[in-house]
Structure 1
Amino acid sequence: MRPALRTRWQMLPRTARTLVLAAVGALLLFAALVMLRDPLGRWLWPDPRYDALRQRAEQALRAGRLSAVDGSGARELFEAALALQPDQMEARDGLDRVAQAALARADARLQAGDLPGAQAALQLARELQAPKPRVDALQAKLDARQTRDDLDALYARARQAQMQGRLDDDAQAALPLYQQMLQRAPRSQRALEGREDALQDLLRPAPEALARGDLAQAADLIRRAERFDPGFPALPALHAGLARAVEQRLRQARARLARHQPEAAARLCDGLRPVLPAPLPEPCGQALGDALLHAAKSDAGAGRTAQARHLLELAAAAGVPEDRLQALRQRLHPGPIVAPASSAPLTAHARAHLHRLLQQAERAQARGHWLTPPGESAWDRLRAARALAPQDPDVLAAADAMRDAARNCQSAGLRDNNLARARACLDVWRLLAPNDPGLLPAQRRLAERWLAVGDERLRGGDVAGAREALQRAREVDASVPGIAALAQRLQRVQQDLH
C-alpha cells in the first residue's frame, strides 16, 4: 500500500475500518459461494437420485448382477450415479468393487469350464480398469484352456473321421484335422501319432498297387501322403518301388518298339502319364511318336484306314506336332477334318491327374512361365493334359483360355516393350492356334520392334546388341521389311571395325 493511502487508512476511526473490512470479507464470501454453489450444494444437500441409484447399484452387486444391457446392472447404475455427482467417491468405489467381482467371476467360470462366461466377465473387468497383471494372468489361463479344448475337439473329429475311413477327402477328413492340430501345437504327441496312423492307413494299398502294376494309384497315394508329411518313414521305400516299376515299364515299352509294336508301347507309356511329369522320358517321347506315325503311314498305304486313324491319334497323344500329322490326316479324312472321337472314359486316378495338370498349367501361366522351365511350363502341362484327354471339355476350355491369354500377353509385351515376353507369348499362341489370322500381323509387329531396337543399338555403337536384335527379328519374321537394310548396315560397320 502506498504511504499516502496507508496514512489515510490509519486516520479512519477504528469502527470505520472494521466496517470496511467486514464488507470486503462479505463480498469475498459471497463470490466464493456463487462460484462453488454446485459442489457445495451436492456436498451439503446430495441429489436424492444419486442415493437411489447407488442403493440400487449396491443391491445389484450383492445379487451378482454385475452388468445388464437394460441398465439394471451394478456397473450401469454406479456409472449413472457417478454422472450425477462426479465428486462422490462412493460411486467410484462401487465401480472398483464391480471390477473385483468381475475378476472373481471370471476365475470361477474358468474353473467351472464356462469359457464364454469367463471371457465375458474378464472383458467387463478389463473395461472397468481392473489391475492389469491380474487381468493378463487370467487371460493367459483362459487362452490356454481354450486352446486345449479346441485341440480336444479337433482330435475327437479327426479320430472319428479316421475310423470312418475319411483320411484326406476334404478339410473335415482325418489328416487335415491332424494338420490343424499340429499347426496350433507342433509337439502334440497325440496329433503326431494320429497323423502317423492315418498315413499308414492311406498308404496301405500302395504296395499292392505297385505289385499289380497300377502305377497311377501308387503315385497318387504317395503324393497325397507327402502333402502331410514328406518325411514319413514309409515313403522312401515306396518311392524306390515306384521308380523300379517305372523303369520296368520303360524297358517294356522299349522292347515293344524294338519288336515293331508301337501300339502296345503306347499303352505302356499311357500308364506313365499320371506318374511322371511331362514330357515323358524316352522311349515314350519322340521315339514313340515317330514309331506310331510310321506305323500309321504303313497302315494307310495298305488300306487299313481305321487302324491308321487310331495310330494317328495315338501319335498326337504322344506329342507329335500337328504339322507332321496334317498330311496324313488329309489322306485319311478327305474333305473337312472332324475332331477325333472321344477316348475311353478316364479312371478316377487319371481324372485327378488331369485336373492337377490343368491347375499346374494355370499356376505356371500366372507366374509367366509360358515355355520354361521344360516340363513345368504352362505349355508343357497343358500338352500333357491334352495327351491324356484331348477332347475333355476342361482341357479344351483350358486350351482356349491359354490361347486368349497368350494373345493378350503378346500385346501387353509389345506395349510394355518387353519383347522377350512378347516372343514367348507369341510362340504359345502359335502352338495353340497355328491358323489364327491374327498371328501374322502380330509377328510382323514384333519383328519390326526388334528391328527398331537393332537400329537404336547400332546408332549407339552397340554392335553386339544390334546383331542380337537382328537375329531376334529373323527368328520372328524373316521377311519383315527393313531386315536386309539393317543387315547390310551391320555388315558395313563390322567391316570398318576390322
Structure 2
Amino acid sequence: MIEIPGYRVLRPLGRGGMATVYLAMQESVDREVALKVMSPTLLADPTYGERFLREARIAAKLHHPHVVGIHDVGRHGDYFYIAMEYLSGGAVLDEDGRARDVPFALRVVREISKALHYANAKNFVHRDVKPDNILLREDGSSALTDFGIARANDSATRMTRTGAVVGTPHYMSPEQARGRTLDGRSDLYSLGIVMYELLVGRVPYHAEDSLAVGIMHITQPIPQLPNEYKALQPTLDRLLAKEPEQRFQDGAAVCAAIEAIERRFENGELQDLVRARPRTPPATLAVAAVPPSFGQRAEPSFGSIDDIAVDTPRGSDYRRAQQRERKGSGAGARWIFVGAFVFLIAAGGYALWRNQDKLRALLPRTELNDQLARGEAALKAGRLVGTNGDSARELFEAARSADSDNEIARGGLRRVGEALIAQATEATASRDFATARARLADARALLAGGPAVEKAEAELKRAESQGTQIVELFDRAEAALANGKLLGADGAVALYEKVIAADASSAPAQAGLRKAGAALAAQARELVAQGKLDDAAARIEDIARAIPSDPSIPNLRADLATARTAAGAAVDAQLAKAQELLRAGRITGTGENALALYQAVLAKDTNNAKARAGLGQVVQALVVQANAALDEDNATTADRLIRQAEQLAPNSADLAAAKGRLRELREQVEIAASRPVATPEQQQKVAGLLAAAEKAAAAGKLMLPPGESAYDRYRAALAIDGNNAQALAGLQDLPQRARDQFNVAVGEQKLDRARDLVETLAQLSPGDASLSTLRARLAEAWLDEADRRVGENRAQDARRALDAARDLAPYNPRLTVLEQKLRELGAGGSGFR
C-alpha cells in the first residue's frame, strides 16, 4: 500500500490507465474518502503532474448535489493525489452491465444533466461522461466524478495517453472524435449514450478498434431504442444529434424534457414504459438501488411490509415481538371487557332496585304497548309510511296521540324519519328521483327539517342536475352514432364514455358503446381491404382503447397482420422490379418504369426507406443523363431531364451543379452566336497563346504563376475564340496532366511539389474521384519521410513531415506511432536540427 501523509489507506477500489483509486480514512476529520493517485509513469511528461493538480483545484470549486465533491489536492513525492467524496453505491451500472429500469435511468439522466448545466455555466466541459464516472450515494442519488481530470488530460496536440483523443471512444461526441473544439453540448451527447446504455444494457456502437468506434459516432445513424421505449426516442434523438446545433443546447433543457416524461409516467401514461420496467426479485428491498419516485420521495417502491421485516436486521425477532404485543393487547382487552360487563350488571341491578316504584308507574297500558310493539315491527320490516294503518309512522303517531308524552313513540318517529332519509339516499344513488323526493318530504314532515334532511335534499338536487346532463349526453351520443360520427371529442365513443363515467350502470350507454365499436370495426375491415393499413391499425387501437374487451379486436389484429405480410411481399416485389428497371435504363417515361413503381410504393407507405432510396437513385440517373446531354451540347434534352429530377429532389447538390452547367452551355451558345468571326491578327494571337499554354503545361505550370500558367493562357485563347477546339481540349486535359505530374513528384520524393499538384487538381476538378486516393498516397509519403527523419535524429524535419501528413489524413493510425517516436526522440536529449 502507498503512504500519503494525513491519510490511512484501507483498500483499493479500482485501477485505470491513469490512476488508482483507494478507500482511505482522512485522519484529520476522521472521514472516509476516495483517494485518487495518479500513476507515476505519467511523470515522463514533466508538465503533466502540474496540469493534473491545477485542473483538479479548479474542479474543487464545483459545488453541486450531483457532482462528486473534492476535499483535498496535493503531491507527496512522486504521488499526485486527489481526495474525493466517497460514494459507497458504486458506479451507475453493475459490472455485469445489465439494463436498469426506466425510472432509475430517467432520474440519473435528469440529475447528471443538472450537474452538467451547472458546470457548463462555469465554462467547464467534462469531456469524459460515461457510466464509470457516474456514482451512486447510499440514498440512490447519482453524482458525476472526474471533473477537471479529463480537462487535465488535454494538450496542445489534442492527444494524451499514447495518442488517444481525450475521452472514451464509446461515449465521445462526433466533434470530439474529429478533434474539434468542444463545449457543453458534447457532454450532452455523451450523456445520451449513457441513457441508451442504461436502458438497453450496452453501448450503441461497437467496432474492433477505437478509431472505428469514433468514425461510427460520426457516420452511423442515431441508434433506435427497443419498441417498448419508443416514447423516449425523441429525447434520445435530440441528445445524440450529430451536429451540436441540433441537440439540446444546455443541461437545463435536458432536465425539462426528462421531467415532462416523468410527469406523464406519474399520470398513468406511457403504459409501454410501465410494462418495460424490470421487476425486483421478491422479498428484496434495496433502498439505495431503488430510485426515488418522481415526486422527489425516496420511499422504496417494491416489496411488502412482511418482506421488509424479513430482510431487515433482526426482522424475525421484530415480527415475534409484534405478535407477542398483539397477543398481549388482545388478552388485556378481553379482561377489561369482562370487568366492565360485570360492573355494568352490578350497577344496573342496583339502579333497578332503588327505582322500582317509579318503574312500575311507567309500565305501558296494554293497547298502547301493542301499538308501540307493532310500530317497532313495522320499522324493522321497512314499512315506514302508508295509508293502511300498519306503517311504522301511522302506529307511532297513534301511540303518541294516545300519550303525547310517550318517549318511546317520539323516539320511534325520529327513527322513522332517519330511515326515510336513508331510503331517500339509496333512491338518489339508484337514480329513482321520484321515490327520493317522496321519502324526503315525509322525513321533513317528521323531523321538521334539520341538517340531515337538508344534506340529503342537496344530494338529490345535484343528482337530478347530473341526471339531466347525462340524458343530454346520451342523446348527443345517439345522434352522433346515427350520423356516423364515431371519434373525436363530440364523437359517439367519447360521449358514451362520459355517460358511463357518470353512471357506470347505464346499460343503454354500454350498448351504444358496443355499437360504436362495431362500426369502428367495420371501418377497420374496409381500410384493410383498401390497403390503408396504417389507418386500419389506428382504428383498431381506437376500439381497444374504448372497448378493451371487444371480441372483434383479436380477429382484426390478425387480419391486419396478414394484410401487412401480403402488402410487404407485394412491396418487396415492386421494389425488386423497380431496381431491375433502373439497371435496365427504364427510368421514366411511358410504360413500366422505375420511377412509377417507386412512387406507387410511396403512395401506400410514405416512409418506405427503400422506395425513398430508389427515388434518390432515379434522381441520380436523371442527373447523369442530363450531364451526358450537356457533354454533347444538347441543351434541350438536358433541360427536360433536369426538370424531371427537380420535381423529385429540388435540393439535390448534383442537380444544382447540372443546372449550373446548363446555364453555362446556354450562355456559351448565346456568346458564340453573338461573337464576330476572329480576324487574321486574332487568329495569330490565339495560335501564340495555345503554343505558350502547351509549353507551360509541359513545364508543370498548370495554374501558377497567374497569367503565365497553362490554365490562364487557354482561357485567354477562348476569350478571343470561344469555340477553339484546341483550347477546350487543353483545359479538359489539365486534370490528367496534374495527376501525371503528381505521380512523378511522389516518385522523385518532391513532396511539396506533389502537395501543390493535389491542390491544383482540387481547383481544376473539385469533384474528382481520385483526390482522396492522391491525398492518402501523399500522406503515406510524408509519414515515410517523417519516419526517416526520426531515424536520422532530425526532429524538426520529422515534425514538419508529420504535420503535413496530419493535414492530409488526420485519422491515419501511423500518426500515433510516429508521435510516440518523436516524443521519445525529444526525451532522449537529441539535438533539434
TM range (shorter): 0.3 to 0.5
TM-score by length of 1: 0.37
TM-score by length of 2: 0.24
Higher strand share: 2
Higher helix share: 1
